[in-house]
Amino acid sequence: MRMPLWYGGDYNPEQWPEEVWAEDVALMRRAGVTLVTVGVFSWSRLEPAEGRYTFGWLDRVLDLLADGGIGVDLAVPTASPPPWFSLAHPDALTVTRDGVRLTHGSRDTYCVNAPAYREASLRITRALAERYRDHRAPVMWHVHNEYGTPCHCDHAAAAFRAWLRRRYGGLDALNDAWTTAFWGQHYSDWAQITPPRATQYLPNPAQALDFRRFVSDEMLAHFAEQRDLLRELTPGVPVTTNYVLAGWACVDHWKWSREVDLVSVDDYPSGRGMAAAEQTAFAADLARSWAGGRPWLLMEQATGYVLGPRASPKEPGEIARHSLQHVARGSKGAMFFQWRASRGGAEQWHPGMVPHAGPDSRVFREVCALGEALERIPASAGGSLIDAEVAILWDEEAWWAVQGPGLPSAEIDYLAAARQAHRVLWRQGVAVCFAHPSHDLPAYRAVLVPSLYLISDEAARNLAAYVEGGGTLVVSFFSGIADEHTRIRLGGYPGALREVLGIRVEEFRPLAEPVELPELGPATVWSEVVHLDGAEAVARYPGGGPAVTRHRVGAGTAWYVSTRLDDSGYARVLAHTGLAGSGTPGVEVVRQRDRVFAINHTEDEQPVPVDGTDLITGRPVDGRLGPGGYVVVPAQTRPAVDPRRSRDLPNHR
């Protein structure tokens, strides 16, 4: 018997008088809520003075929820230390790169390297675990919230130096890796090294990149300390922490995903309409890939759009469609920020499952309808139920490097390149996952490499072996250029990938104006002087130089796209490589091995290659879906699975 899906959101009862709590639970039951995250920002209400706890209110909340049959994802509230803590330990407040020590007044104002903060974090963790270890309500621990606060204070500087000593062993290796010979930055004593604080002109890119790696590792250490204590005190209760997705990546998610019991993500699309659906699919495929075949959870989304210049409601049906996009890819449920829209405080305009208008509202009616639909869909046994044909390489280190100082074009955008690769395949109905450049790749029919500026020797060998073995590799411009210390690989670009691509790039020519490529349309941002060295030109620049190349290597083929194409140009290159799906744009069909999700994101009725009985409505599906409609049907037959290319790869990096 499969577990039901989780459905609910962040619940912040401390923002409301107690009379509202009973109504909350009644409304949650009406909406089919099964799980709420409680206490994410409650530290000051739980520990109003050092070591003095006021758990009474939380006892009552958890009892009420348990009586209502609602599970609790109990938070450890370390993302928002109380005002008394910051006053007592000003050295634990974040310092920006400009040297400004932030003050209390928002959230996330801490330094994970401050000893007082580490101690206080463990103290509140222990207190919560000891208090609620035998309570009926908690089913999961939710440590912190969206880790992502870098600090440049002296505690961080000391920890950075210790991290660097572990990484490099000696100063000679560090000076070499950071190319400190440039601008006379040679370090003769560890004490001279600081985080990349504000400085006169461009900072050292290798130092900047190492600092980002360090920040990710130190935040992970803070998480792991709490996780280990929770595992000791409440064995068997899974521990998660919610990742921020896409636009902002403060941590190395491949690494983190090996440390959490459940990958959970927050997803707030910045686009609207179809663009939001595309971004949602991208986010869910990333989460599914990080989970490496295990179930994962959409921990937060919103009932409206919150990013961009203006907040707006989601259109009718979008709340359900976005939720199902995640569930279709293995999410254990659909959760929101937050249950009840706040009436005051910094996010008082953030939408909730219960909006300011109250339950007599379109949003709450849609929330109830979604709860009813989810009740009828059994939880997935995991994202590994999807057979992905294509992998897109995803590496936060490479992204951080491309966000570094002094690059030849400010318009090179790794996230945009990865999104384009995903979007183009999504529109054609091709199942995609993400992989780290060092993952085993033979399972995939094709591997797409968005502008992956930085690549290790090991990863480059991995890609070459993939092609030799029969794979199709499609590399976009500005890939393979730098080593893991952001040093340029010499002898011609794209350095580490020159041989497998069979080309040698002598010069870059960033484009100020678009140029037109025959058959492929406009080329923007970037162009290159490409010499063929075994490859053949598939498309040329107006001046005659190769723009897109193909190189047969062993049993496979490596393609190179030396400029930025628009979506249709990129789709045409993929079609040349043999990658073209048969999907209808805007109609998403996600095939798990035992059931199929079909979601129509368009405003017209559409044909869908799906038959059977819809698990949600119990009605037959006759190969058509109404505008904005969705269905989930059991798979007719289990697809034959070629074990060589059958699954998402486990996250074993």
- Catalytic positions are 146, 300
Contact call for residue 416 and ligand GLA (CB under 6 A): no
Pairing mode, strands 606-613 and 564-565: unpaired
**Nearer to ligand GLA among residue 270 and residue 568 (C-beta):** 270
d(CA 560, CA 550): 7
Query: Could you tell me whether strands 446-449 and 390-393 are parallel, antiparallel, or unpaired per DSSP bridges?
Result: parallel
In whole angstroms, the minimum distance from the beta carbon of 331 to ligand GLA comes to 16
> Which residue from 266, 318, 483, 528 is in contact with ligand GLA, where contact means CB under 6 A?
266
Do 321 and 628 form a contact (C-beta atoms < 8 A)? yes
In the complex, minimum distance from the CB of residue 10 to ligand GLA, in angstroms, rounded to a whole number: 7
Footprint on residues 25-64 left by ligand GLA (CB under 6 A): none
Report in angstroms how near the CB of residue 249 gets to ligand GLA at its nearest. Answer: 14
Of residues 440-459, which lie at the interface with ligand GLA (CB under 6 A)?
A: none
Residue type, 652: H
* Residue with Cβ nearer ligand GLA (300 or 395): 300
Q: Which is nearer to ligand GLA, 113 or 242 (CB)?
A: 242
- Among 350, 356, 540, 576, the residue binding ligand GLA under the rule CB under 6 A is 350
Instruction: Residue 205: count other Cβ atoms within 10 Å of its Cβ.
Output: 22
Report, in Å, the least distance between residue 547 CB and ligand GLA.
41
Query: CB 490 → ligand GLA: shortest distance, Å?
Result: 43
DSSP per residue, 43-87:
HHHH-SBTTB---HHHHHHHHHHHHTT-EEEEEE-TTS--HHHHH
List the x/- string, 134-173, binding to ligand GLA by CB under 6 A. Answer: -----------xx---------------------------
Among 7, 43, 110, 268, binds ligand GLA (CB under 6 A): 268
Q: In this chain, which of 23, 154, 225, 347 binds ligand GLA, going by CB under 6 A?
A: 347
Element (H, E) at 296: strand 296-300
Instruction: Compute the half-sphere exposure of residue 20: CA atoms within 13 Å on the CB side of its CA.
Output: 15
CB closer to ligand GLA, 353 vs 503:
353
> CB within 8 A of 162, min separation 6: which ones?
none
379 close to 332: Cβ distance less than 8 angstroms: yes
Which tokens in the block code for residue 205? 């890119």
Which of 110, 214, 256, 337: binder of ligand GLA (CB under 6 A)? 337
* Cα–Cα dist 484/502, whole Å: 23
End-to-end CA distance of the chain: 32
Of residues 458 through 487, those in contact with ligand GLA by CB under 6 A are none
Q: Which is nearer to ligand GLA, 271 or 628 (CB)?
A: 271
Which CB, 6 or 211, lies closer to ligand GLA? 6
Q: For residues 494 and 475, is the Cβ–Cβ distance under 8 A?
A: yes
Distance between CA atoms of residues 315 and 305, nearest Å: 10
Least separation, in Å, of the C-beta of 107 and ligand GLA?
Answer: 8
Cβ atoms of 15 and 40 within 8 Å: the answer is: no
Q: Count of CB atoms within 10 A of residue 131's CB?
A: 16
When the beta carbons of 234 and 325 are compared against ligand GLA, the nearer one is 325
Q: How far is the CB of 146 from ligand GLA (least distance, A)?
A: 5
Segment 276 to 305, residues that bind ligand GLA, using CB under 6 A: 300
Residue 342 CB contacts under 8 Å (≥ 6 apart), including other chains? 12, 15, 348, 350, 352
- State yes or no: residue 267 binds ligand GLA (CB under 6 A): no
Number of residues that bind ligand GLA (CB under 6 A): 9
Question: Using the rule CB under 6 A, is 306 a contact of ligand GLA?
Answer: yes
146 or 285, CB closer to ligand GLA? 146
* Residue placing its CB nearer to ligand GLA in the complex, 163 or 268: 268
Q: Is the peptide bond before 494 cis (omega within 30 degrees of 0)?
A: yes
- Closest-by-Cβ residue to ligand GLA is 266
* 3-class secondary-structure state, position 558: strand
Strand partners, 536: 550
- The answer to whether the beta carbons of residues 325 and 277 sit under 8 Å apart is yes
The minimum distance between CB 539 and ligand GLA, in angstroms, equals 42
Long-range residue pairs from 254-259, CB within 8 A, at least 24 positions apart, any chain: 254/290, 254/395, 254/396, 254/436, 254/651, 254/653, 255/216, 255/217, 255/220, 255/653, 256/216, 256/220, 256/223, 256/290, 257/290, 257/291, 257/292, 257/651, 258/651, 258/653, 259/220, 259/223, 259/224, 259/227
CB of 333 to ligand GLA, least distance (A): 16
Which residues bind to ligand GLA, rule: CB under 6 A? 145-146, 266, 268, 300, 306, 337, 347, 350
